[in-house]
Amino acid sequence: MATNSVFNSFMKTVFRVFSGLLIFLSLNFGKGLLAQTFTGSVGLVPDLQTVVPTHVQLVHQQGQDILRFSNGIANTGDGDWALRPNNQGQTSTTIQEIRDINGKVVLEHPATTFAYHPAHRHWHVGDIARFEIRSGSPIGPIVGNNSVKVTFCLIDWYKLNDNAPTSEKKFWDCDSPNSYQGISPGWVDQYRHSVIGQQIDMTSVPDGIYYLLSTSDPENKFVEKDNTNNTAWVNFRLYQQGNGNRKIEILGHSPCANSGLCGEKVPNR
């Protein structure tokens, strides 16, 4: 009996070390590494890609020039980006679940936090995206203080490349602190340009050529197949004609694998 107890304890320790190693490899070297347990269950890993920002416009309000835009995060991977709250009061830990083809959880990864967003009046996941204005090129210097990290409520909002009924959505609720959030494979979560937080202040930025960058999972907090494809950008010219308000002209955008990631499927809602 003592021998069995020691062996079982040893195997549990080995399993924990093995699981932790898989998470580390997935985050740092994986590029598509599948999580696998001793039972043979293979985890299906999501892949986060930013849709090219759309509805990019310069709005003039109370003497300020505000760049507003819609932002979408697509899951182009094999598995759900499934996030479970582990409640601890007003803030809770976000647990990412890696599931197999049958929906069984094969890995749990403490990724970031859940917190209540008073302006949006529902729960958000932290460290989801970063918005930046850069000069000269997509890797040029950041203009002023225009690098902003944002939190999101993550749900299945629309299909990336086709239409789908609401009944196909797996993730749809951000109102409860106990609800799962996430994005299913082939789906996109979108925040419209009119929503609070979808803006960058351009008032003090001089006229010129700039890049608006949006990056999903900027701190590599989440397990995904490829964390090198998370950024999309729009190139624009900021200018003024005569004594009127300043304007922008869209010049181009980052390369994209399909029309959905180019923003051509973004709904007007």
What pLDDT was estimated at residue 40?
55
**Percent over 70 (pLDDT), the chain:** 79
Q: Are strands 48-61 and 208-216 parallel, antiparallel or unpaired?
A: unpaired
Confirm whether 198 is domain-assigned. yes
Confirm whether 92 is domain-assigned. yes
d(CA 97, CA 105): 6
What pLDDT was estimated at residue 213?
97
Between 179 and 230, whose confidence is greater? 230
pLDDT tens digit string along 123-160? 778 888 999 999 999 999 999 878 787 777 899 999 99
CA-CA-CA-CA torsion sign (220, 262, 191, 203): positive
What pLDDT was estimated at residue 27?
45
- Confidence class for position 268, pLDDT limits 50, 70, 90: low
pLDDT at 254 over 60: yes
What pLDDT was estimated at residue 15?
43
Distant-in-sequence, close-in-space partners of 133: CB < 8 Å, separation ≥ 6: 67, 142, 143, 144, 146, 147, 200, 202, 205, 210, 211, 212, 213
Cβ contact 204:173 at 8 Å: no
Between 101 and 33, whose confidence is greater? 101
Lowest mean pLDDT among 2-11, 46-55, 218-227, 238-247: 2-11
Confirm whether 247 is domain-assigned. yes
What pLDDT was estimated at residue 193?
81
Confirm whether 237 is domain-assigned. yes
pLDDT tens digit string along 183-203? 999 999 998 887 777 889 999
Region 79-85: mean pLDDT is: 94
Q: Which domain holds residue 176?
A: 45-253
- Confidence class for position 119, pLDDT limits 50, 70, 90: low
Confirm whether 109 is domain-assigned. yes
Between 37 and 174, whose confidence is greater? 174
Instruction: Provide the number of structural domains found in the chain.
Output: 1
**Percent over 90 (pLDDT), the chain:** 54
Q: What is the pTM (predicted TM-score) of this model?
A: 0.81
Confirm whether 40 is domain-assigned. no
